[in-house]
Amino acid sequence: MRACFVAILAVLFLGACDSKDDPSKSKPPTIAAAPKPQPKPAEPIKKDPAQVMQEARDAATKVRAIGYSAAVTRAGSDQAVLKGNVAAVRAEAGGWLLHLKGSSERADKPAAAPADSGSFGANPFEIGYDGANARSIREEDKVVFEKVILEWEDLLDFLQDQNTRPLVAWEIMSEKPLEAATGATFEGQETIGGELCDIILVPHAAPQADAPARGTRYSFAVSDRLPRRIVRSEGENPVLTMSEFVTNSDVPGAVYALPTPNGFRIRDPDAGKPRNADAVTAVKTRILGDPENRLDMATTSLKIGDEAPAWELKDASGKVVSLADYKGKIVVMDFWGTWCGWCVKAMPAIEQVHQKYKGKGVVVLGMNTENDPNADPAGFMRRNNFTYGLILNAEKITQKYKVFGFPTLYVIDGKGKVVGAESGFSPDLADKLSAVIDDAMPKN
């Protein structure tokens, strides 16, 4: 009996040791936790675009003054090409008084240059409109451009010439703001500068099946229904983003009638434009870069195949040169002026063409038209690193070359015939010029 009791104790002792050596034997069985209930997916936000647009119209109609910091970027890029502070206040006689101050991307800055490369901000500007006159102060050239404004479109044209129009939220400053809203759609929400915004697309026309929607996208702040971003589908730099947005009494004071700084010249931005009646006669010409001549259009240019009119003018060094001096070479002639914003915008592309064909029988000439004895086109080109040829006083030949718009470009072949012509600026100008030049090159 005693031996049996000892045996039982031994078994119990060994079992306890095994439990210490293997803790799993002493753990209670694991019970699986019940799955937590999953939250239901959030319902997509829905807004009535017509109601949002009406609220935005009401807000724009009631606001008496607006101010904001503006950044203008190209579509798909975060790099600003225009920056500035904008202040606008309603005038007693109607319309708005306007003040802009900021800087623009340098004309000679490569597209791939980093934002902190130092090129940005080298072109400062300050513009004021006092209800009667618009003035643009250009520090670098010591010039004040001044224009009498007779109607709203005159102001838009003035700012277009100064390359600053995209900074202004014109859509909410017209007599009937945000009037076009047919077919508007709600595209969701985004936060801009801490403001929750409703995104509304206003199409330019009824969208076609399977075609991407084109129009103007507004990001209206939920708090006040004024825009914080406007994405315009037209133009090269269509995205305007507004931060530090203030209204009415919170708008800081601004000088809308800008004084002329000491030592600055006052110029009319239209002074260099030809005014002869013959220059506006429409003729048929080929668009640059259309070697098969399929894209004919009415324009104020010489015809393809015309003999290029002879000329004899001075270059920047004072030397007399003529078109005949370049016989046997392809000549690119760019009629331009320092007063012309679009001319300046085109100059990097023209410099690119000059570098591409240097030493290959191609001559690039900037045909300067100023009508101002104090203008300094040579200094302007030097400061902006444009190295192609410069011909002065080209306003003397604008009539015979039928130059009406600026810039106007011609490509003349080695026999003196017009092989390409274009008026105005386009982002692919360098490619267009290259296509015409390549086509005009002698074939081996």
Between CA 422 and CA 412 the distance in angstroms is 12
Residue 273 is predicted with a pLDDT of 52
Between CA 180 and CA 246 the distance in angstroms is 25
169, 171, 175, 180: CA torsion to nearest 10: 180
Residue 288 is predicted with a pLDDT of 42
Residue 341 is predicted with a pLDDT of 74
* CB hemisphere CA count around 257 (13 angstroms): 4
**In terms of DSSP bridges, do strands 408-412 and 96-104 run parallel, antiparallel, or are they unpaired?**
unpaired
Owner of token pair 């209670």:
28
pLDDT by residue (tens digit) across 191-242? 999 999 999 999 976 555 555 567 899 999 999 999 999 998 765 668 999 9
Q: Which parts of the chain sit beneath pLDDT 70?
A: 1-43, 93, 106-122, 205-213, 234-237, 270-301, 371, 444
List the domains of the chain with CATH numbers: 49-267 (2.50.20.10), 277-440 (3.40.30.10)
Residue 374 is predicted with a pLDDT of 77
Residue 296 is predicted with a pLDDT of 40
Q: Which structure tokens are listed for 9? A: 């104790």
Sign of CA dihedral 245, 247, 251, 254: positive
